[in-house]
Amino acid sequence: MPHLLGSAYLLGAGPDHLNNIYEAESKGLEPWHDSPGELSSYDWRDHLGNPKYQRAYLDFFEDELVLNGYDWHKVLDEYLLKGKEPLINNLISGLGHPLIHLGYAYELSSRELAMESLTMAASSYNYMHKYLDNPSYTKPSATSTHSPFEILCRVQNDSRFDGLFTHQGFDNLEPLFEKREDDVLEYWNSWQISDPTKEFQASQMAAAALLVATHKPGGKPYDFFIVHLLTTSHAVRILLPLLPTDIHVPLVRQWWLLTLAVYIAQLRPEAVLTSVTDYDRKGRDWGWVDEQAVQGKHALDAHYVKALRAMKTAAETWGDGDEFYLKAAVKFTDEFDGWGGFGHSVF
């Protein structure tokens, strides 16, 4: 709910539409369930990755917020950034929702969202943290490049991933690392980041391309899991200027690991860039895109609205002289008719 409310608000939605969002989104929320026990500063890490402790984690972090005089930045500094294996290195768990939530916490200056992001990171903590926490997984690559899109094209044509899965879906992620860990990490280490700003700019273009340039009009619906690569990229863009500099490259590489894993799990759809660059936007501009986001027929779809806003803010951040982001947003709006890519997943 806060993602859609925040996105719509930042796109200029009025109070009536925000109330409509609240009414619609609140109907699908699950009730809280009591946790098996409480948590303290002595044992809070003992139940990382256990969703049954979600309520206990939120209670714990909110108590810490009070103890720190409601300074949510201090709480994040203590529980997100510090320690041998800090939570910051696993924000891509849960399909990146802790990362997305943290981005909105900073954008909206919300201590409530900040504590919820910590809760999500703690309760969905998983195996992917080790690739950031253990430096042995980071190795020099013989096929390094500064272009993430170039690497994705290599992955798309790599026969080592052929026949690995029979369907798309979130449930492919863990088996991917069990079966092809070395191959995934080979590509993960191939992205050479020597100029973080320039390379991250390229990664945002790649994220938009993966969503929009892989979609064929009249074909399957837009991919629900691939859209998270765009919205997590947006969150990284928000966080980079606000977090310590030593976290910047690891945070971008964390996003890159999620991107590779989701792309392979979704059976590596081909991204045809000309489907975006040659798209006829018919004179429609960002004002039209904003109108579709807050007044169009899909204005109550959180991921739809977030995707449009992510492309718009990327254009504002990097410039859009070739109109790539604008054309991608118009194409996405024209063709969107719900989400697919679930396979056998229940998410």
Rounded CA-CA distance 184/268 in Å is 13
In this prediction the pTM is: 0.95
Q: List Cβ neighbours of 158 (8 Å cut-off, separation of 6 or more).
A: 183
What pLDDT does residue 221 have? 95
pLDDT of the chain, 347 residues: tens digit per residue: 678 888 888 888 788 878 888 887 777 777 878 899 999 999 999 999 999 999 999 999 999 999 999 999 999 999 999 999 999 999 999 999 999 999 999 999 999 999 999 999 999 999 999 999 999 999 999 899 999 999 999 999 999 999 999 999 999 999 999 999 999 999 999 999 888 888 899 999 999 999 999 999 888 999 999 999 999 999 999 999 999 999 999 999 999 999 999 999 999 999 999 999 999 999 999 999 999 999 999 999 999 999 999 999 999 999 999 999 999 999 999 999 999 998 765 54
Q: What is the per-residue DSSP string for 20-89?
A: HHHHHHHTTPPPP---SS---TTTGGGGTT-GGGHHHHHHHHHHHHHHTTT-HHHHHIIIII-SSS-GGG
Rounded CA-CA distance 329/315 in Å is 10
In contact, 182 and 158? CB cutoff 8 Å? no
Rounded CA-CA distance 274/213 in Å is 8
Rounded CA-CA distance 41/175 in Å is 34
List beta partners, residue 145.
191
Q: List Cβ neighbours of 189 (8 Å cut-off, separation of 6 or more).
A: 138, 139, 140, 141, 144
Rounded to 10 degrees, what is the CA torsion of 228, 46, 33, 79?
Answer: -60
